[in-house]
Amino acid sequence: DVKVTQSSRYLVKRTGEKVFLECVQDMDHENMFWYRQDPGLGLRLIYFSYDVKMKEKGDIPEGYSVSREKKERFSLILESASTNQTSMYLCASSPRTSGRTQETQYFGPGTRLLVL
Amino acid sequence: GNSVTQMEGPVTLSEEAFLTINCTYTATGYPSLFWYVQYPGEGLQLLLKATKADDKGSNKGFEATYRKETTSFHLEKGSVQVSDSAVYFCALSRYSGTYKYIFGTGTRLKVLA
């Protein structure tokens, strides 16, 4: 079974703090993604990575950065947390098989972040 | 641009009722279509998918048919159970270096015993 784990289920931070959200997958997937989930907006893509040290902006990258130093780990960084970044953050991964990226994504349980 | 529209919830049904959750999309090209389910306190799980027009995805009694002529991918189940209570997301995939999803806003389903 594919397993995607996220470092925290719940996190409370103060405005201006630097926040790290960690995601680890154990299936050797090439592609990893960070989404945020907000009521009435569904899931929106923040950043994704298709290889170690490679990253691309998604639809809402402002205020976020990412790091992928190892294949299994993809970190989301909030350089200076703000209250409008209070949200549920979901990590996902997908494989590349025979050189072809597969469409199905596998999600972690999510981190609910509250910024006060 | 690409987008997914799904019916607003919550949808409240009695056990054994018939379920339909509507999903329509706009897209350039021919995307694959997905339904994901999120049970309380968990991440999203793939429920079913369809990769081309007229394909039917099915899993756990749920079905959805990729209808190109109506740009729809409605989710149906003949007899819901309390354990089906969850949030359901419709999504399409688009390729830009890798496959990325565009999600609908989600529909919460509550099934009462």
- For A71-107, how does the pLDDT look when each residue is reduced to its tens digit (9 = 90+)? 999 999 999 999 999 999 999 998 876 555 567 889 9
Q: Which amino acid is at B43?
A: G
pLDDT at A33 over 90: yes
Q: Which residues of A touch B100 (CB under 8 A)?
A: 33, 45, 48, 58
Confidence of residue A116 (pLDDT cuts 50, 70, 90): very high
- How far is Cα A25 from Cα A22, in angstroms, rounded to an integer? 10
pLDDT of residue A102: 66
Sign of the four-CA dihedral B70, B52, A31, A109: positive
Tell me whether A4 touches chain B (CB under 8 Å): yes
Bridge partner list, A12: A114
Q: Which residues of A touch B48 (CB under 8 A)?
A: none
pLDDT of residue B99: 72
pLDDT of residue B2: 84
pLDDT of residue A103: 74
Q: List the one residue out of A90, A83, A87, A85 whose CA is nearest residue A107.
A: A90
List pLDDT tens digits, range B8-40: 889 999 999 999 999 999 988 788 899 999 998
Higher pLDDT, A13 or A2: A13
Q: In sequence order, which residues have a C-beta less than 8 Å from that of residue B42 and are 6 or more positions away?
A: A109, A110
Q: Which residues of B touch A101 (CB under 8 A)?
A: 95, 98-99
